[in-house]
Structure 1
Amino acid sequence: MARTSLLFKFQSLGLAILLLLLGCMGVTDNVPSEEDDCGDLRGLGVLLGCLNFIRKDRSQLPPSPECCNYIKQFTMKCTCQIITKEIEETISMEKLVYVAKSCGYPLSPGTKCGSYEVPPSS
């Protein structure tokens, strides 16, 4: 139990540092258009802002308005480009697709997001 609590504290600290870095980079002040390249870690905004809704160890819940604002601001295109196998070990790609759709920014079937391919709609 103590080990899990300590791990959670380190994860929270890491997320706080990443958010601070994103703020220092001025990323939060710019809303990218679809044409913008995503080379400045914009995609991390969605992962960090929606983490409580996409973690594998959490129940699937509708996303908060704040999470949806991160998706609107940073775009799923940028998010999908930065997802690695290591990130996929922590987050549920199915939940990420669900959250994007729930926020009004669905990923098209066949879209590659990390190594995950969005399945056809049911």
Structure 2
Amino acid sequence: MATTTTHRRHVLALAMLVIVGIHILGNQKVAAASCNETLSSLVSKCSRFVQIPGPRDLPSDACCQAMKQVTVGELPCLCKFVTPAALKVISMEKAVFVARTCGVTVPAGTVCGSYTVPPNFV
């Protein structure tokens, strides 16, 4: 009887692990979809403020609204898009300026691609 009880406990523990694993994987897919939606919004509303050519301009209200939708959990996903090719088109200095101007906290030391966010600057 003790063996049957032990076996049931192992099966129950395994079932719980499977349920938790499915839940975690499901959340990762949701997070990835959310990241892609956020990136799309940022590109459509903020791209002109972060392009390499041109002056450092104050972002629009629409851009700031898109920036404020970025969650801390999405940062690693968004940073995956900061590739060497992307850095030839966008200025990370301008991107940090836009985010901070919009009131979004971008901690110094945050690494996005090969770029490391410096302390607050003007």
TM-score grouping bracket, smaller chain normalisation: 0.5 to 0.7
C-alpha distance after superposition, 1:62-108 (max 9, x if no partner): 10000011112244714323221111110100000000000011210
User: Structure 2 regions of 5+ residues with no counterpart?
Assistant: 1-29
Task: Find the aligned partners of 1:111 and 1:38 in 2 and give their Cα distance.
Answer: 20
Q: Which structure dedicates a bigger proportion of its chain to helix?
A: 2
C-alpha distance after superposition, 1:103-122 (max 9, x if no partner): 01121000012221001235
Task: Find the aligned partners of 2:45 and 2:113 in 1 and give their Cα distance.
Answer: 18
Residue in 2 aligned with 1:111? 110
Q: Is residue 67 of structure 1 aligned with residue 86 of structure 2?
A: no
Residue in 2 aligned with 1:100? 99
Q: Is residue 37 of structure 1 aligned with residue 31 of structure 2?
A: yes
TM-score (norm 2): 0.61
Count of aligned positions: 87
Which has the larger Rg? 2
TM-score (norm 1): 0.61
The runs of 4+ residues in structure 1 deviating greater than 6 Å are none
Residue in 1 aligned with 2:45? 49
CA RMSD of aligned residues (A): 2.1
User: Structure 1 regions of 5+ residues with no counterpart?
Assistant: 1-35
**Aligned-pair identity (%):** 36
CA change 1:79–1:58 in 2 (3 A) is farther
Task: Find the aligned partners of 1:113 and 1:45 in 2 and give their Cα distance.
Answer: 18
